[in-house]
Structure 1
């Protein structure tokens, strides 16, 4: 399974963010990680999408907030 259009917005010290990244890696899903705590451009981008929290996993128009295996599987 290889997806290159998945972006994961994470923040510093977020254990759910780490779980999402690990889960995507276990599934073999290619993804881009953007840390909203450390990267101003990533923060501004994230704020325009869904500033409800992190992790926020985005693929096209689909969004998964938090660590939810069922929703992540549907996204993949």
Structure 2
């Protein structure tokens, strides 16, 4: 399987940014962080994508805005053991 290119645009004092980076680290995903507070050229890059806030995560051609764990998992191809996917916990009458 080919390695995905993951870029996360962050800013200082952004709690959702920290959550995204924490999850990527937990899932052992390599990523490049671009902090728009510390480098204004990164903010210009982000604006060219028509995005004006952080966090903004680009996974190959997919874009996930904000902290959306399921969307991140989907874009990364990580199987979600969510509440409807575990057949052992679903019972039908």
TM-score by length of 2: 0.74
SS at 1:54 equivalent: coil
> C-alpha deviations, 1:13-40, integer Å up to 9, x for none?
0000000000000000000000011102
Q: Which has the larger radius of gyration?
A: 2
Q: Which deviates further from its counterpart, 59-68 or 2-11?
A: 2-11
1:30 matches 2:36: no
5+ residue gaps, structure 2: 77-93
1 CA distance for matches of 2:41 and 2:4? 20
Q: Which runs of 4+ in 1 moved over 4 A?
A: none
Q: How many residues align?
A: 75
The equivalent residue for 2:12 is 12
2 CA distance for matches of 1:74 and 1:29? 13
The equivalent residue for 2:65 is 65
Instruction: Supply the RMSD in Å over aligned alpha carbons.
Output: 1.5
2 CA distance for matches of 1:47 and 1:35? 13
5+ residue gaps, structure 1: none
